[in-house]
């Protein structure tokens, strides 16, 4: 089979390729191309080497765009992607192919690309915190490239992906249009690169899991049967994370993550600080029973019952009894993030509650996420340098890493909450070979692990299909791969998941 990236380049006119940078990046051997650096590239192919899992891997990278066309054949958008492949002998078994998405909506794939799966990653501190600038890339010893070929996809309005006309941009800021455009991208990529006969997987993080669940059914309806879906920090049912008046579900589902966070910051009683696993099991059991019943009772709780629940909740969260009572036994994630370290003048992160930052306005609602403040500068700097200097892709557009490229998102949910768990279930029913891996961080206050467990348990799967789902937990946050031990464990779990899914 023709290597995927060389095949793609062969079908692009020479005038559409971009010139390599003047200096040759370390570890890269750039092919000669002909266009001026100022012109946006349709695709640029480069060759590289990296140490992955202790072995040197030679690979090809391709940075480029593919069009999104409507039924009339008109191009309505261009989707930017970066792909990696390891050249194989013609007689070799086809390598698995992973399409990778981040979330938001409005996040580019840079987070999984340069944080977890790609052959290069942003150098962070061992716990995942931001180092002093300037920022640097290093070989990713835990890259997934030794297991599968990778395609990192930026949905329209993220990265360099843009609608063909400004008036078309709004069209892609909606649940189904997003799924449809990415489904078209995947099918076109498979066609142009001759990859219809390989094992295919989707990998998504955060809202990327929501879109992957929808994509799984969309693709099988268009003849693409997936081998697996990997959901990182998953949210498929928006009701589980939306703190609306009258929706008590998130309060019980977030509580174990409050417990984990309080444990990390040493805010629990000595008995609960002793063993996180045992303490989490207690918190989950209490949240799903006594706390759930109390929430369901509402105003019917007696004063004594309310006081007893507040005391237990305070014990499991590190908050004061008075605050819990003042919040009517219902503390949302932003309130918790602001209150846990209030006495120290700090706020904890939402996406990763291990991180914290000074709270300059303690009397106001939380105005920023300490996690985003920690990750945005290094990843923004790294991706802009990497695409231009190592991959040779030149563009004057702003690379939208997180927001800035999309408008108001249309959730298309009337009198209900957006939910793609049913789509994933239906995809599994239609394709019983489809395997699902779910990865959750214990210190995630955005898509908590207990909410993910709840969603998986309520998908309506039969006994056989339930065996197709595996759940993994990590002692890190929403982007568990920021922490070096969790980065390595996520890779090991994903590699085993892919290996097992190919044995059927």
DSSP state for residue 314 in the 8-state scheme: H
Query: Can you give the pLDDT at residue 349?
Result: 94
How buried is 331 (Cβ within 10 angstroms: 0-12 exposed, 13-18 middle, 19+ buried)? Answer: buried
Average pLDDT over residues 448-471: 97
Q: Go through 112-150 and write b for each residue having 16 or more CB atoms within 10 A of its CB, e for each that does not.
A: bbbbbbbbbbbebeeebbbeeeebebebbbbbbbbbbbb
Mean pLDDT estimate for the chain = 90
Task: Please calculate the CA angle 210-214-219 and round it to the nearest 5 degrees.
Answer: 140
CATH of the domain at 139: 3.40.50.1820
Q: Which residue reads 């009894």 in tokens?
A: 321
Predicted confidence (pLDDT) per residue in 435-446, tens digit: 999 999 999 999
pLDDT bucket at 29, cuts 50 / 70 / 90: very low
How many structural domains is the chain composed of?
2
The domain boundary residue, chosen from 371, 389, 418: 371
The SS3 assignment for 267 reads: coil
79 and 198 in a single domain? The answer is yes
pLDDT bucket at 279, cuts 50 / 70 / 90: very high
CB 350 within 8 A of CB 446: yes
Which range (230-234, 316-320, 330-334, 403-407) has the least confidence?
403-407
Q: Which residues fall within 8 angstroms of residue 271, CB to CB, at 6 or more apart?
A: none
Query: Can you give the pLDDT at residue 19?
Result: 34
pTM of the model: 0.90
- Cα–Cα distance measured from residue 105 to residue 349, given in angstroms and rounded to the nearest whole number: 19
253 and 234 in a single domain? The answer is no
Residue numbers of the domain that contains 254: 243-371
308 and 198 in a single domain? The answer is no
**40 has pLDDT over 50:** no
User: Which of 172, 179, 241, 239 has the alpha carbon at shortest distance from 211?
Assistant: 179
**456 has pLDDT over 50:** yes
The SS3 assignment for 435 reads: strand
- Cα–Cα distance measured from residue 362 to residue 339, given in angstroms and rounded to the nearest whole number: 9
Predicted confidence (pLDDT) per residue in 81-136, tens digit: 999 999 998 889 999 999 999 999 999 999 999 999 999 999 999 998 899 999 99
Q: Where is pLDDT greater, at 26 or 111?
A: 111
11 and 150 in a single domain? The answer is yes
Average pLDDT over residues 153-176: 94
Extract the tokens encoding 336: 């918790």
101 and 157 in a single domain? The answer is yes
283 and 204 in a single domain? The answer is no
């Amino acid at each position: 089979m023709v290597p995927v990236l060389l095949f793609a380049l062969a079908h692009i006119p020479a005038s559409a390729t971009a010139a390599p940078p003047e200096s040759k990046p370390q570890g890269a051997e750039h092919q000669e191309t002909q266009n001026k650096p100022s012109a946006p590239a349709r695709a640029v192919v480069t060759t590289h080497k990296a140490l992955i899992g202790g072995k040197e891997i030679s690979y090809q990278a391709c940075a480029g765009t593919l069009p999104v066309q409507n039924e009339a054949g008109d191009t309505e958008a261009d989707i930017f992607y970066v792909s990696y492949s390891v050249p194989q002998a013609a007689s070799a078994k086809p390598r698995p192919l992973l399409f990778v998405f981040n979330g938001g909506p409005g996040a580019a794939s840079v987070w999984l690309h340069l944080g977890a799966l790609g052959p290069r990653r942003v150098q962070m501190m061992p716990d995942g915190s931001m180092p002093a600038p300037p920022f640097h890339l290093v070989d990713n010893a835990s890259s997934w490239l030794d297991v599968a070929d990778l395609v990192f996809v930026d949905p329209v309005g993220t990265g360099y992906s843009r609608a063909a006309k400004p008036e078309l941009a709004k069209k892609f800021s909606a649940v189904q249009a997003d799924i449809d455009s990415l489904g078209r991208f995947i099918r076109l990529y498979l066609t142009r690169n001759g990859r219809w006969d390989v094992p295919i997987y989707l990998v998504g993080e955060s809202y990327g899991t929501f879109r992957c669940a929808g994509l799984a059914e969309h693709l099988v309806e268009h003849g693409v049967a997936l081998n697996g879906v990997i959901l990182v920090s998953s949210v498929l049912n928006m009701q589980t994370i939306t703190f609306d008046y009258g929706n008590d579900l998130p309060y019980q589902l977030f509580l174990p993550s409050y417990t984990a966070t309080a444990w990390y910051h040493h805010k629990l009683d000595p008995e609960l600080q002793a063993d996180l696993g045992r303490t989490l099991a207690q918190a989950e059991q209490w949240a799903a029973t006594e706390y759930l019943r109390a929430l369901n009772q509402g105003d019917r709780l007696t004063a004594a019952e309310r006081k007893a629940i507040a005391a237990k909740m305070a014990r499991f969260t590190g908050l004061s009894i008075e605050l819990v009572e003042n919040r009517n036994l219902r503390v949302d994630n932003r309130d918790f993030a602001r209150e846990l370290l209030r006495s120290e003048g700090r706020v904890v992160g939402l996406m990763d509650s291990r991180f914290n930052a000074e709270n300059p306005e303690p009397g106001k609602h939380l105005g920023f996420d300490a996690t985003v403040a920690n990750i945005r500068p290094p990843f923004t700097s790294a991706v802009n340098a990497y695409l231009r200097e190592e991959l040779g892709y030149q563009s004057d557009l702003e690379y939208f890493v997180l927001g800035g490229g999309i408008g108001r998102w249309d959730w298309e949910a009337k009198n209900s909450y957006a939910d793609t768990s049913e789509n994933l279930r239906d995809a599994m029913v239609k394709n019983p070979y489809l395997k699902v891996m779910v990865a959750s961080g214990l210190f995630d206050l955005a898509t908590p692990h207990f909410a993910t467990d709840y969603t998986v348990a309520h998908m309506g799967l039969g006994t056989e299909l339930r065996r197709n789902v595996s759940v993994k937990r990590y002692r890190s946050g929403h982007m568990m791969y920021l922490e070096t031990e969790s980065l390595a464990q996520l890779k090991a779990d994903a590699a085993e998941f892919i290996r097992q899914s190919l044995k059927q």
